[in-house]
Amino acid sequence: MKQGIAMLCAIGAVALAGCNTISGAGKDIAGGGQAIQDASRKVRHEWREAVNRNEHEYEAARKACVGTAGSERDACMDRARADYRARMNESRLAYHRSDMRAQTDEDRKEDRYDAAREKCETMRGAEEDHCEADARAMYAH
Residue 14: predicted pLDDT? 62
User: What residues of the chain score a pLDDT lower than 50?
Assistant: 98-100, 102
pLDDT in tens, 83-101: 988 888 888 777 765 444 5
- Return d(Cα 47, Cα 91) in angstroms, integer: 7
Query: Phi and psi for 122 in degrees, rounded to 5?
Result: -85, -10
The model carries a pTM of 0.52
